Structure 1
Amino acid sequence: MKKLAAIFLLLSASQIQAQEYKTYPMWDHKLPTTTRVRDLISRLTLEEKVAQMLNAAPAVEKLGIPAYDWWNEVLHGVARTPFKVTVFPQAIGMAATWDTSSLFTMAKYAATEGRAINNIAIKKNRTRERYLGLTYWTPNINIFRDPRWGRGQETYGEDPFLTAMLGSAFVHGLQGDDPRYLQAAACAKHYAVHSGPEPSRHSFNANVSAYDLWDTYLPAFKELITNAKVAGVMCAYNAFRDQPCCASDLLMNDILRNQWQFNGYVTSDCWAIDDFFKYHKTHKDATVSAADAVLHGTDVECGVSVYKTLVDAVKQNIITEKQLDVSLERLFTIRYRLGQFDPPSMVPYTQIDESVLESETHKAHSLKMAQQSIVLLKNQNNTLPLKRSIKKIALIGPNADNPIAVLGNYNGMPSEIITVLKGLQRKLGNDVEIIYEKAVNFTDDSLLIFEDLSSFYSTDGKPGVKAEYWNNEKMEGSPDMTITEKDIHHYWPEGQSPATGINTIHFSARYTTVYTARETEALQFEASGDDGYRIFINDELKLDAWERNRWGARKLSLETEKGKQYRIRVEMYQGEGNAAIQFKAGKTGRTNIAALKERIKDADVILFAGGISPQLEGEEMKVDYPGFNGGDRTSIMLPAIQTKYLQELKSTGKPVVFIMMTGSAIAIPWEDQNIPGIINAWYGGQHAGTAIADVLFGDYNPAGRLPVTFYASDKDLPDFNSYEMKGRTYRYFNGKPLYPFGYGLSYSNFTYDGFALPATHGKGKALTVKVRVSNIGKMDGEEVVQLYVSHTGKTETAPLRALKGFQRIALKAGESRMVEFTLSPDMLSVVSKDGKLVQPAEKIWVSIGGGQPAVKNKTTSLVLSKSLSIQ
């Protein structure tokens, strides 16, 4: 009885405490948010305050504060979640749509899916888990200044104005328009002057002029912060003018907080605070680094390590507790704006359920954006669209049936991925024969012809592979889960667990099986994994890739005797990110080109799906194939082996169409001169294959435009390490590009007329510009109307030309429409050498049309240009 009484008293005390904290002002939704936030902070101990400044913020049970992980991603759809979600085209592909309306809708749909996932997490008490929250660290609005940067695929291209407009549309769509609550919180990254190289990003010091800073690197951030009201900002890894970006006097204190009056939250890039003392060597230790980051307005640390020393920093009088309170107020204000401390009935997004995940409307928009993103680069003799009367297609190349390529990076996982092969099969059915052969890798033609050996695997005398999983990275203790699997071939996107009860990240695994040799033969085994793995044969270590690997593949050979048994053990661990372990077997060979040409000799058309993929370019990757290094590229040329195969295919005399997939500009001078049909399809999302098939057969009239310059060769590029803009992008490049920024063809033809400007224009006044656009072709289509401004006076710092307006419009065959732009005084101004925006009295040129001035484009009339004097 005494024991029961004690339990009753404990329960009563708990209930009383629960009742008590609900009476605190922090929980009173009728009070101003500032009052509630300050009340909450006042009730935290120093240790509790510091814990709330980590990305994985723990629960504070005495106040009813739930655990929350700030880290989430939504680059082109909700990323790294355990749920099946809609995957839109990669960011660079969405930029190629030049359609702010589509990007707004995409962000709105992604936020809706994110809300559904978060609502599920709250109901299941999973708010402490990463990738289930509502603070998304997107968009990436860094300027894609150099095509060699592997993360450029995450951006909206090389132009500050295009980036700003698309980024603004994304923020508005994601955050919603409710006056009180955020649908989700966007975050502008990486602030600032950050765009490679990847291998040196933790130690690199960017030192640019005031002109380049304000003309190129800051405009998009300014737009998102001062006008779009983005909720968050992420400071970059690199240093800027000898100070780490997250502790930059100029970037953080002067510009962000003082000039732009930003009152949202700032997160460090992940483990960027460690870089202060480990790589930049600007701070003596973790404690000083943490305090200095906070004093510069970095409110939350991604990495959950250095900020733990803030407790000591306060006790050592390096920083005060009140200075921590400034950051805490920003952080909890965001959480209040997300509705985390109000009754669900008050928050308009809490009733969204999982039925919105991959809804038909969302998937339809993913397809639409994939279609919109495709850029028709060449169409000699109207090779495209293909006629539906053809009977046989040869589909060749490394991206013909590659699901990784269409998903890009920072991606979620859909229920179904439509590759080029699947897209063609669905469109054509049994009416057209498709001969598919990979034939070549991205950078070589040494193919491992995989064979299914799973029927020869056994464990404990039964078919299969013994799989043991641990909820730690070192296989410590007893396995948390042991199951039997068919083979060793897994890919788990971030947020997906390899087995019931196993972490989505920070886990390890051991796979053991016995292979009974089917033949006396030389087998090639290929292993790959996202982080570390190692292979043992008969308990002898044969392949060691235990260090961070990120998709790198390794091979080992094994001479087998028929009937003999070989013990195979594969061990792996997973830290952050996508998880993968693949162990394949086969024999190495090269495609017999002569035999391939004979096989496809009666094809009506040859489609070569090549380019590159996120397996080669991306964030800090250990990839060292020819032309690639650490996620970046050392050459922008299409890998030579692909050009060789295209030459062989052209020699058949058949029409050849090059379907290029990439997240960055590729130089294809031979292809431009010799291949009649070329489309650039980027990394098109889950419906990429459907969109490509639609464009190839004319069910969709392409209208994508390049958001980056496609240079002719590596010789056109300045030093990758230099952040000076001279010679970079269409705004400062004096050479002749292969395909210019803003370029893209159509199956229709468009003309422009009715463009007029006054002879003079008053300084400081807005200018309205109108033009009539007509579709004179036989096919309905879309045109991207582009407006550029050029300063021809004595201004030393002006770009050659600068985009200042764009609209994507749909016109039926024979239809005309007036298009209007309003240019603000800022749009008619230039940045001075000291970084000030000025409007000089001088003559300027305003150009309007389907591309840049003086750029030839066979499916749109020449750009119209007129001058006026600013007085």
Structure 2
Amino acid sequence: MSLLLPTALILFLVSLSNALRPPFSCDESDARTKSFPFCNTSWPISTRVRDLASRLTLDEKIKLTGSSSAAIPRLNIPAYEWWSESIHGVSPHGMGFDLVGSIRSTTQFPQVILTAATFDPHLWYRIAQATGDEARAIFNRGEAKGMTFMAPTINLFRDPRWGRGQETPGEDPLVAAKYGVAYVRGIQGDSFEGGRLEKEGILKASACCKHFTAYDLESWNHTTRYRFDAKVSKQDMAEMYQPPLEACVKQGKASSIMCSYNRVNGVQTCADRNLLYEIPRRHWGFHGYVISDCDSVHSMFDGERYKEPEDAVAAALKAGIDVNCGIFFLNYLKSAIAKKKVSEMDVDRAVHNVLSMRMRLGLFNGDTSKLEYGDINGSRVCSKDHQDLALEAARSGIVLLKNELGLLPLSKEDTKLLAVIGPNANNPLNYLGNYEGPPCRKISLLQALQTCGGGITLKHHQGCNAVNCSTAFIDEAVEIAQQADYVVLVMGLDLIQEGEFIDRVELGLPGYQEKLVTAVADAARRPVVLVLVCGGPVDVSFAKENPKIASILWAGYPGQAGDLAIAQTLFGHNNPGGRLPVTWYPKELSKVAMTDMRMRPDPSTGYPGRTYRFYTGPTVYEFGYGLSYTNYYYEFIAVTLDNLYLQAQSPQNALLNSSRWVSVSQLGKGYCKKIKFSAYVRVTNHGDMAGKHPVLLFVKSGGPSMYPRKRLIGFESLTLRAGQSEDIEFVVNPCEHFSYADEQGKKVIEQGTLHLVVGDDRGAYPIRIVN
């Protein structure tokens, strides 16, 4: 018996060691792997994949096409999980990371909509880098089943009621494009400028550009995302919906793309070969794998268009899907082959793409601890650097919407008693947003205010029974407000009001929140501060117009450091500099059908259009709006172009003088490169407080035309000391920045006068376009 204990102990330790190993193939310590040519790392990946695929049976191939890929023990191939989430930090919402091992928390950055408000691509890149490091660290410990992430979400936040708009970088395609590129490069291990991975190969993690395409509806007026047919014009597709996805693939070099649940112009996106294969692979140079959104192939099977489940499977596979998130491929792919709806060659294509990705991640190169990224360990998870970055992002994203009388920042000397009222005042988990993970730190706003305010006394009252505020305790909240020197109301939304599966019904604050805010403001001794925690915009016109509500802050879903960022902003330790990445519309927009996908307005029907580019109705706050505790002044100090003369690429393509517009393709790539010019803008901090400030450059149309009325063409974030000036160079490419899509989706430039605008219209710089 005495020998059994050491043996059992040894077996246990071996078992534990194996459990803590990340899934990889081609283990040098396994004699079987030495004879497999696909383990020869000196061979090109394509050659290794062909060798490995040739050794697989049909059943084994099919196992590799599901999101939970089973092991193939005879070839020493472990199981692999394709579905992991990392929208704003590593999350257990997928199947790849459960965070129940030795690492149970990860850095939770602000939800993307607030991060976008920084207009700072370098910050976006650093957040993605940190997320990739934490993911690799957990994977290297053997506590994760995969390194392929379903992020970033770069669909446009077209309708403010969309529950998942919080996951996006907002409504502008340029912002969404730059965000997608920065995120993909950061998490995959590329340089900020791109190009590193083309030489060095192994990915730190795999990023997925989603969702292809025109997806921005969950459930509205009995229409669900599974049955919604988005009617999108060629013009809107080329100008608005597709550019972020194109940039994510072409510039970011994303290794994965995902189809969406909806149809587009009658075609299910997961069965659209043009969308998933022809465009990305043939025109954008995509090299990676295509994954379906989870259970989207299953949702295609309706017994009508796809009479049998094998029909849906065949349509998806032939369209270009390589990995089915779900079990529909696993259940019906073999029978689809037997019924001759697809061939084994179609499966081979998918297998080639999925194995190539696993090899690019280094999972067929032997012990991953000996490879690049193998030295990233658990010390990177929740590291001080990452937590400081989460705070920096929250501080930089918070938007000051109103600050009459200079109420903010609050004076510690004048604040002996601070009343903090509202359903979002004392619940840090509400600050994370959807697809969240367990954060590294949990402190409440009350604790943060106590820290930042020094010796102040706090009185807190929830004000409502919950964020939906179906019951409001107005009399109790008013009594506390009457006693306080200052009052901060913390209101807004939560994931019950907006999220996946949940679109909003209307745009105001829910329940009795507005009544509570107004009553407290009327009763307070001094004007009050309103803090809004929410992803989507809300109509707070009542507060904007009420002089008793002197200051309004939008904090988005600010992540694990959001409480501290808000407190620091209220007491002046942080100068807010964020700008709105989405238009804040009035409640009346709720009357417009959410299913109307048109961007341009239709005066004949009263349709107002969507996004700041085309919307013609009133706004609560405009896209790009944001105040500061200091004042910034802009001036154009030099623009190296006044008149743009359009010239044809060759005599055969001579431009017609009678034509009002010309095709960009008619001008030629060489000409388009040659006519780039620079606009130099001087930015001066005229206040007495340092601040981080995004500078946004727009082009505005000079008159009626098909141009967007206003269009963002460049942005840069800079930090200025009090009194400091700095010059920014914006490089303008007229073929890109002065063109728009015609009704056929072709880029054209129109004759006339455009204006470069930074700040307000008073400093607009005219550019005349002639041929």
Which interval holds the TM-score relative to the shorter structure? 0.7 to 0.9
Q: Displacement of 1:445 after TM fit?
A: 4.9
How many Å apart are 1:823 and its aligned residue?
1.6
Q: Where in structure 1 are there 5+ consecutive unaligned residues?
A: 1-14, 448-589, 621-630, 855-861
Amino acid at match of 1:767: F
Question: Are 1:602 and 2:614 matched, yes or no?
Answer: no
What is the CA distance between 1:251 and its match in structure 2? 1.3
Give the number of aligned pairs: 683
The aligned counterpart of 1:398 is 423
CA contact (8 A) 2:467 2:492 kept: no
Aligned to 1:78: 90
Q: Report the counterpart of residue 736 of structure 2 in structure 1.
A: 826
What's the counterpart of residue 317 of structure 2?
A: 294
Structure 2: give runs of 5+ residues left out of the alignment.
1-26, 93-97, 191-196, 601-608, 647-671
For residue 615 of structure 1, report the CA deviation from its aligned partner: 2.7
Which of 8, 26, 31 is equivalent to 1:19? 31
Q: Is the 8 A contact 2:137 2:380 kept in 1?
A: yes
Q: 2:539: which partner in 1?
A: 667
Residue among 278, 284, 287 paired with 2:307: 284
2: distance between equivalents of 1:62 and 1:16? 16
| Residues 115-157 of structure 1: CA deviation (Å, up to 9, x unaligned) | 0111112xxxx65xxxx42100000000100000001001010
Q: How does 1:156-167 map to 2 (within 5 A)?
A: 156-167=169-180
- Give the corresponding residue for 2:529: 657
Native 8 Å contact 1:59 1:65 kept in 2: yes
Q: Give the corresponding residue for 2:768.
A: 868
1:189: which partner in 2? 210
Taking the aligned partners of 2:561 and 2:324, their CA distance within structure 1 comes to 36
Task: Name the SS of the counterpart of 1:633 in structure 2.
Answer: coil
Contact kept? 1:716, 1:735, Cα under 8 Å: no
What is the rounded CA distance, in whole Å, between the counterparts of 1:17 and 1:365 in structure 2? 40
Counterpart CA distance in 1 for 2:35 and 2:450 is: 63
Distance in 2, Cα, partners of 1:599 & 1:792: 53
Question: Which of 98, 111, 123 pairs up with 2:119?
Answer: 98
Amino acid at match of 2:56: L
Aligned-partner Cα distance in 1 for 2:257–2:763: 38
User: What SS class does the counterpart of residue 609 from structure 1 fall into?
Assistant: strand
Question: What's the TM-score, normalizing by structure 2?
Answer: 0.86
Aligned to 1:564: none
**Given the superposition, is the C-alpha separation of residues 801 and 160 from structure 1 closer, same or farther in structure 2, using an over 3 Å criterion?**
same
Query: Which residue, out of 630, 650, 659, partners 1:748?
Result: 630
Tell me which residue corresponds to 1:272. Answer: 296
Q: Deviation at 1:242?
A: 1.4
The DSSP-based 3-state class of the residue aligned with 2:301 is helix
Q: Does the 8 Å CA contact 1:402/1:419 hold for their aligned counterparts?
A: yes
Root-mean-square deviation (Å): 1.9
The answer on 1:697 being equivalent to 2:597 is no
- Matched to 2:766, the amino acid is K
Q: Determine whether 1:412 maps to 2:293.
A: no
- Residues 1:804 and 2:713 aligned together: yes
Q: Does the 8 Å contact 2:322/2:351 carry over to 1? A: yes
Query: Quick check: 1:787 aligned with 2:697?
Result: yes
2:508 to 637, 641, 652: 637
Q: TM-score, normalised by structure 1?
A: 0.76
Structure 1 residue 22: Cα displacement: 2.9
Q: Which residue of 2 aligns with 1:330?
A: 353
Q: Using the alignment, how far apart are the partners of 1:411 and 1:443 within structure 2?
A: 19
Specify whether residues 655 and 51 from structure 1 end up closer, same or farther in structure 2 by C-alpha distance, changes over 3 A only: same
Indicate how the Cα distance of structure 1 residues 819 and 17 shifts in structure 2: closer, same or farther if over 3 A, else same: closer
**Counterpart of 2:20?**
none
> Which residue number in structure 1 is paired with residue 17 of structure 2?
none
Residues 772 and 816 in structure 1, CA contact (< 8 A), matched pair in contact too: yes
* 1:218 positional shift: 0.1
1:52 aligned residue (45, 60, 64): 64
Q: For residues 246 and 361 of structure 1, what CA distance do their matches in structure 2 show?
A: 40
2:410: which partner in 1?
386
Q: Is the 8 A contact 1:442 1:639 kept in 2?
A: no
Residue aligning to 2:240: 216
Q: Find the residue that maps to 1:735 and give its secondary structure.
A: coil
Kept after mapping to 2: 8 A contact 1:206/1:723:
yes
User: Quick check: 1:831–1:838 contact (8 Å CA) kept in 2?
Assistant: yes
How far is 1:837 from its partner?
Answer: 1.7
1:18 offset after TM fit, Å? 5.0
Conserved? CA contact 1:268–1:302, under 8 Å: yes
Higher share in strand = 1
Verify: 1:358 aligned to 2:382, yes or no.
yes
Matched residue of 1:753: which SS? strand
Residue correspondence of structure 1 range 445-594 to structure 2 within 5 A: 445=469, 591=473, 593-594=474-475
Task: State the SS of the aligned residue for 1:150.
Answer: coil
Task: Tell me the distance in 2 between the aligned counterparts of 1:438 and 1:29.
Answer: 60
2:163–2:503 Cα contact (<8 Å) kept: yes
* Whole-angstrom CA distance in 1 between matches of 2:139 and 2:466: 39
In terms of fraction of residues, the more helix-rich structure is 2
Aligned residue identity for 1:42: S
SS of 2:526's equivalent in the other structure is coil
1:137 aligned residue: 150
1:31 to 40, 43, 56: 43
| Letter of the structure 2 residue corresponding to residue 428 of structure 1 | G
1:55–1:300 CA contact under 8 A, matched in 2: yes
Report the CA distance shift for 1:289/1:660 in structure 2 as closer, same or farther (over 3 A). same
Q: Secondary structure of 2:164's match?
A: helix
Q: CA separation of 1:203/1:834 partners in 2, compared to 1, >3 Å: closer, same or farther?
A: same
- CA contact 2:507–2:590 (8 Å) conserved in 1: no
1:522-543 deviations in whole A, cap 9, x for unaligned? Answer: xxxxxxxxxxxxxxxxxxxxxx
Matched, 1:206 2:230: yes
Q: Percent identity, aligned pairs only? A: 36
The 3 A distance-change label for structure 1 pair 446 and 772 is closer
Deviations 1:268-312 (A, max 9, x none): 000000121238x43112111111111110110001234431112
Structure 1 stretch 49-58 or stretch 247-256: which is displaced more? 247-256
Letter paired with 1:605? Y
- Cα separation, partners in 2 of 1:415 and 1:839, compared to 1, 3 Å: same
Equivalent position amino acid for 2:519 in 1: E
What secondary structure is seen at the aligned counterpart in 2 of 1:637?
coil
1:679 aligns with 2:553: yes
Give me the whole-angstrom Cα distance separating, in 2, the residues matched to 1:747 and 1:717: 36
For residue 169 of structure 1, the aligned residue among 176, 182, 191 is 182
Q: Higher mean Cα deviation, 740-749 or 611-620?
A: 611-620
CA distance in structure 2 between the partners assigned to 1:752 and 1:238 by the alignment: 44
How far, CA to CA, are the matches of 1:444 and 1:21 in structure 2?
59
Change in Cα spacing, 1:108 to 1:595, as seen in structure 2 (3 Å) is closer
Distance 1:433 1:424 in 2: 10
1:115 aligns with 2:115: no
Shift, 1:863, TM fit: 5.0
Q: SS of the counterpart of 1:678? A: strand
Report the counterpart of residue 615 of structure 2 in structure 1: 733
Distance 2:33 2:528 in 1: 71
Pairwise CA distance, 1:444: 5.7
User: Are the structure 2 counterparts of residues 444 and 287 from structure 1 closer, same or farther at C-alpha, using a change threshold of 3 Å?
Assistant: closer
For the Cα contact (< 8 Å) 2:633–2:683, is it kept in 1? yes
Deviation at 1:795, TM superposition (A): 4.6
